[in-house]
Structure 1
């Protein structure tokens, strides 16, 4: 059994103490923070397809690892049970269930996981927790339960739309980063065809929060009938510009602080994303040293044999073909001297 690090009073106190220091956060208009020297995610971590135990006959992660070479998975989703208590899908406990079993299975095979908080549906901790302190404590509970190296905040729907929830999330993540040196934090959110809404990026920059990847989801954005690889690159260029402007980064720094999380196959609104589109994204990531390159979801990375959209891609493909394409990304090259 994989060693688990229990939550301790010390860890919780550290998160609260770190949050107290946020009173000194830079005011709007202050000089933006610069990315940490190790801001880009470690190469093995850059490609971590989403794996969801809630539906779609979840695949055995070791089978996927053996077939593709991928080592990391983004495990979805940590939600609220109606209070500020993190649970898988808002109903399954952190310990003793299928999700802990997935963590142990991946680690036993030489990989690791990145729990994802949020998603489109369900009760969000970011909304259910009443303060940044409480939200930081909820994040910390999951970090401690699994001894994590990284977390993903998939902020969508009403959580993204609320300025109050956005600020609570930013402040909580500042506390978490201070309490957990070296922890990677990925922020994942929707986008338009020319790039994302910039409210969360600007709010984070003004508060002095840097994350390891601002990651857009370039799908479900009226791309029907268009080349989704090229359209995704267009959106990613808009993201790069938004991050560059908010933080005062160079182009190279901005690219290294951004990422793409696509969707394989036929999307919720009928767009079609093919393995060739993923090859376009792979080339773009390699050219610009993106911090993250992933997709929703490995559950769907199979040809259809009578299954639904939650268990197959609905496009012609070999098993695990989308994962194999992105597994060719080795992560950002060594950062150039500034």
Structure 2
């Protein structure tokens, strides 16, 4: 099953943004003994405000697709969190936005400051499909953890997302293990950090490599907070609600088996990251379908809901699979508004 998102192949910075100072983000503390800190209530709704770390956080990508001003989207929809994409290798084991833009002083930092000034925050997505990844370029878990730490320190982050969909990372046992060992180091060095891994799926749940990732997270002591699946690109004509639910239930079963969790605890460690409108394989997720998925996820206490992407959250019926709109008829920012209700 292909896991690539077509958009990952176009990494052309095109945004302009107002120059803003970088605001400091909130800090939280991991509770000793594995208890969940505020905002991550197992099997239930999150607490209000910034403590609900990245629960409903659609992707915002500043590399292409006529990226909107995030504060404009926040005012229109009520969303407070964004997943900012993508941190890659800027050369060797050095992190950079899209591998080209600096962590500080560029459009990405200014967008983060704008989001925080409007009362929100971000989760960075490290990885993705296209571009040069940190996982293969950092030679040891310690070096990779250091690269992650540079991103955390740049923005005083409360959460990071490792998008491990590219085959150089996902289907490479040594790199999978390196990422998980690095995340274990990050968790020890940053009490309270929320660690998320995002990867592809089949309609029945994780494939061989996804199952390995989960099993090795247990074996290596990587206390991953959220395992997020990308339930799309199943094949043309798929029922996206049924396929998403089936994939998520497969993930739940796997987490229960590997960690010995109850269903409620497994759900509380799960996330869904969809693709609004047309997927790469022209599957259709309509606003009504996304609402169904959101309501299913909310009722079961999932930890995270995201989609690719805010850039595409504009209507263009007949527009095909493109970077700046969804390819279907919809109101602007409709998927973001639905996600804000998570």
Taking structure 1 as the reference length, what is the TM-score of the superposition? 0.85
Structure 1 residue 131: Cα displacement: 0.4
Instruction: Describe the SS at the equivalent of 2:84.
Output: strand
Root-mean-square deviation (Å): 1.8
Per the TM alignment, residue 307 of structure 1 is displaced from its structure 2 partner at its CA by 9.1
* Greater mean deviation of Cα atoms: 34-43 or 72-81: 34-43
The alignment status of 1:313 with 2:326, answered yes or no, reads yes
Aligned partner of 1:221 among 228, 234, 247:
234
The 8 Å contact of residues 279 and 321 in structure 2, kept in 1 or not, is answered as no
Give the conservation status (yes or no) of the 8 Å contact 1:35–1:253.
no
1:45 positional shift: 2.1
CA distance in 2, matches of 1:232, 1:195: 9
Q: 1:209-261 deviations in whole A, cap 9, x for unaligned?
A: 22221000001122x21220121011000011111111110111000000100
The runs of 5 or more residues in structure 1 that have no matched partner are: 6-33, 330-338
Aligned to 2:54, the other structure's residue is in SS state helix
Cross-structure match for 1:191: 201
* 2:54 pairs with 1:45: yes
The structure 1 residue matched to 2:260, chosen from 248, 257, 264, is 248
Residue of structure 2 in register with 1:28 after alignment: none
Moved more, 101-110 or 274-283: 274-283
CA offsets, 1:161-197, max 9 Å, x none?
0000000001000000010000111111000110012
> Counterpart of 1:173?
183
Alignment partner of 1:153: what SS?
strand
Matches within 5 A, 1:118-133: 118-133=127-142
* 2:198 match: secondary structure: strand
For residue 35 of structure 1, report the CA deviation from its aligned partner: 5.1
Distance 1:56 1:319 in 2: 14
Length, aligned pairs only: 301
Question: For the residues of structure 2 that align with 1:268 and 1:257, how far apart are their CA atoms?
Answer: 27
- Shift in Å at residue 118 of structure 1? 0.2
TM-score (norm 2): 0.85
- Counterpart of 1:58 in structure 2 is 67
